[in-house]
Amino acid sequence: MVTDPVCETDVNPNDTEVQSEKEGEMYYFCSIDCREKFEMNPEQYIS
């Protein structure tokens, strides 16, 4: 499991197609809404 960086829900990477790659890292999301928030302001979620 990985953690959705936006809402901090556990996400199974094998189970979601909602993903985004930033700076060589893959991020997975519970929903398209979370991905949109991430895409608008990735620096806020990448620590």
Q: Is 30 in the site for Zn ion (CB under 5 A)?
A: yes
Kindly tell me which residue out of 7, 20, 22, 37 binds Zn ion, with binding defined by CB under 5 A: 7
d(CA 41, CA 28): 15
Kindly tell me which residue out of 28, 34, 35, 38 binds Zn ion, with binding defined by CB under 5 A: 34
| Nearest approach, Cβ of residue 19 and Zn ion (Å) | 12
Classify residue 31 by its DSSP letter: S
d(CA 24, CA 8): 20
Beta partners for 2? 11
Q: Which spans of this chain sit near Zn ion (rule: CB under 5 A)?
A: 4, 6-7, 9, 30, 34
